[in-house]
Structure 1
Amino acid sequence: MGSAALRAAVLLLLGLGVSARAPPETAEPGLSQAELTQMFEDFVIRFNKTYGSPEERRRRLGIFARAMEDARRLQEAAGDAARFGPTRFSDRTEEEFMGAPLTPLGRKPLTSPLRSPPGKPAPPSCDWRKAGAVSCPSDQRTCGSCWAFAAVANVESLWFIRFKKLYKLSVQEVLDCSGLKDACKGSNLSNAFGTICRRGMNTAMSYPYEAQQGRCRWNQSNVVVRIQGFQTLPSNESELAAHVATRGPITVIMNARLLQHYRGGIITKHLASSCHPNRNHAVLIVGYGQEKSIPYWIVKNSHGSDWGEEGYFRIYRGGNACGIAEFPVTATVGQDGDGGTAHPGHCPA
């Protein structure tokens, strides 16, 4: 790692708001190994990291140094559109962060593909968070459960839009009751929506998240939400925007490479061209907009509210950026528990 890259890494680390003992911005190039080690120590303290052995700690230091170089390159490519730098994932390899590719759908949806009403173009912007239709971002932690989080978040939002009740629903129920051998190693959206459809959903309060798979403890008397099925959507992003605006958030899968060092702003079309073809992360599109002539999606992640833009990220809309429009899916929520018909809501701009 060259001295210029190390200096850039120091400047990125200073953005964490911790007291890193490193040369100021005007310092001469030529950082020592001791200075790089101190940068890593500040990172360890900031994110409360622990390692099993001195050897593992040294290995993570090397990974951290390479991560800072990767973040520097991304920042140069992004300009002022997005911000990249240290995150709690900066001591992980790209393979560790990305995990195994997700299979979009393991079986056919329970209803036919859904198309948005013709002749109704999408409004210029939409943000379901402003309507109170989106629960706070959660943290999947070390469990590869994004597929369950993204499906559950979709159901939460659709239920609120139709019945004006926002429940925080149990992701743990989906993991435990999915029938998978190891639900924390990833799965597909059919497993998530299928599990929800068969059983209905308990709340997260009655069935809390544990970040590991356990015995299915679903309780029929605690069911608060049911869905009728799930549907695939067209990959056309104009149609997707119209669907989001008129019917609610949608679940998608994408390549997560650019999220490892993401700290804010819009992942542009140019940046998205560096994504891998493998789609390995499920997320929820909750709205869209445009800033400085860049159209974007607003996306809810499952890395907690202290990641990215308070748990969300924005990514270019219109070019299938990082594969985000390839496999959109949504639950079918048509009746409440008493058989009443649902009514769509209005998405705030």
Structure 2
Amino acid sequence: MDYRILFLTVLTIYCVDGLVEYSTEDTAARGLFRIWQIENGKAYRTAYETEGKFRKFKANLEIINALNRMHSGETEFALNQFADLSTTEFRTMILMPKKTPPKFKSHRYVEEHVTDPLPEAFDWRQEKKVITSVKNQGSAGTCWAFSTVGNIEGQWAMMGKPLTSFSVEQIVECDGFQDTKNNKADCGVFGGWPYLAYEYVKKTGGLETEEDYPYCSGGGGAKGTCYICPAPGYNKTLCGPPVTWCLKNESCEAKVDRSKFVAGLQVVDWKAISQNETVIADQLMKIGPLSVALDATLLQFYHRGVFNPPFCDPKSLDHAVLLVGFGVEKGLFEKKPYWIIKNSWGPKWGQDGYFFIKRGGGTCGINTQVTTAILKA
């Protein structure tokens, strides 16, 4: 960054009562927009499109400033790769359609036996190599498949197997499983549920590696994007209308290769965890990283700190992620317990691709859809 850009950056970002705030004055905002474009590799086809994106960018500066004031520095929000998306575009392109969490039968739940007090902190990123690098789902509602695969990767490594990145794309393209009793279905780029994805992997017999079946659904039209057809069994009633056009040679039936399934990897069942967050923490330590879901509407510009929005709906989930640990943030007058969550929005988002969310009280529904695959030993 040269001195002119550095000077412009100083002019457009300042502090108010100790909080970082972006200038929304037009000239300053345009300068910041140009810097943001360079840092994020954003280029638009026409001047008209560029101006439209700038207007969304400027509106987001105001949203970020308002969020920082609302949270008084306890959670920080900042510009990131989503800064040229309106809140509506973010919800439709990145998050899944909002759904109520399904309720499972009693036999699905892991038995609860919490006998020892919990440690103050626990983090699978430090305990054992059971977590692969942070991935990026791009512009598709495929978080559910990343959450599923993250759990299966952890279960595989917990068995003493080499830490391996499994194919998210295979699940996105091939899993059309549905649970009509609960009105749930896996819908490819339009969302899905990890518990149904476990059933897909169980029935199909395994997964390929990320190297053999790489992710391509969320490319947004850039080089390497694939235009996939709906998975076999796609349920139009539960998922909505499928994509208007697709390429069969870029879709599941033309690409999946059972001979490349990872040898020995077999899902035989899956389990759910109680909504009791003490039990969840205990099972996290015993089982390994867990698939979870939440209402992520206000996560768009999260930067750091413990996420605890004043309003979100625990009964309206739109994002699936991976629970990897917990801890306590110690303030002058209080302690704030939190969960450590691996996201699928790339390593530049949040805290190196992770975020913290308040632990206790079921914040944003984080405790309502906790599941894990069971692998064949």
Higher mean C-alpha displacement, 229-238 vs 96-105:
96-105
The answer to whether the 8 Å contact 2:24/2:58 transfers is no
How many percent identity over aligned positions? Answer: 28
- Give the 5 Å matches for 1:147-296: 147-179=144-176, 183-199=188-204, 200-211=206-217, 212=226, 213=228, 214-216=250-252, 217-224=255-262, 225-268=265-308, 272-276=309-313, 278-292=316-330, 293-296=335-338
- The aligned amino acid for 1:241 is A
Deviation string for 1:228-287 (max 9, x for gaps)? Answer: 12122111111101110111111111111232111112113xxx2222453110000001
Equivalent in 25, 34, 44 of residue 27 of structure 2:
34
Q: Is the 8 A contact 2:306 2:338 kept in 1?
A: yes
Structure 2: runs of 5 or more not aligned: 17-21, 178-185, 218-225, 229-249
Say if 1:107 and 1:78 are closer, same or farther in 2 by CA, change over 3 A.
closer
Size of the alignment, in residue pairs? 316
Letter in 2 for 1:172: E
Residue 97 (structure 2) aligned to one of 71, 77, 101: 101
Aligned to 2:372: 330
Displacement, 1:115?
2.8
Residue 302 of structure 1 aligns with which residue? 344
Change (3 A) 1:111 1:31: closer
Which residue, out of 51, 54, 70, partners 1:58?
51
Residue 4 of structure 1 corresponds to none
Moved more, 32-41 or 259-268: 32-41
Deviation at 1:334, TM superposition (A): 4.2
Bigger drift between 78-87 and 289-298 goes to 78-87
How far the C-alpha of 1:163 sits from its partner, in A, is 2.3
- Supply the AA of the counterpart residue of 1:279: L
Distance (whole Å) between structure 2 residues aligned to residue 136 and residue 179 of structure 1:
27
Aligned in 2, Cα 1:305/1:51: closer, same or farther, shift over 3 Å? same
CA contact (8 A) 1:75 1:84 kept: yes
CA contact (8 A) 2:151 2:289 kept: yes
Separation of aligned partners in 2, 1:30 and 1:134: 39
Q: Which consecutive residues of structure 1, in runs of 5 or more, have no partner in the other structure? A: 1-15, 336-349
- Residue 11 of structure 2 aligns to a residue whose secondary structure is coil
Judging changes above 3 Å, is the alpha-carbon distance between structure 1 residues 115 and 77 closer, same or farther for their aligned structure 2 residues? farther
Contact 2:148-2:197 within 8 A present in 1 as well: yes
Shift of 1:107: 9.6
Query: Any idea what SS the aligned residue of 2:267 has?
Result: coil
Normalised TM-score (structure 2): 0.76
SS of aligned partner of 2:306: strand
Q: Distance in 1 between matches of 2:292 and 2:32?
A: 36
1:125 aligned partner:
121
AA in 1 matched with 2:297: R
State whether residues 13 and 23 of structure 2, in contact with CA within 8 Å, keep that contact through their aligned partners in structure 1: no
Equivalent residue, structure 1, for 2:111: 115
Cα deviation code 1:49-80 (max 9, x no counterpart): 13343333222222111211111122123333
Write the distance in 2 (CA, Å) between the matches of 1:97 and 1:59: 15
Residue type of the partner of 1:194?
A: E
Label 1:196 to 1:291 Cα distance change in 2 as closer, same or farther (>3 A).
same
**Amino acid in structure 2 at the alignment position of 1:263:** H
User: Does the CA-based 8 Å contact 2:295-2:313 persist in structure 1?
Assistant: yes
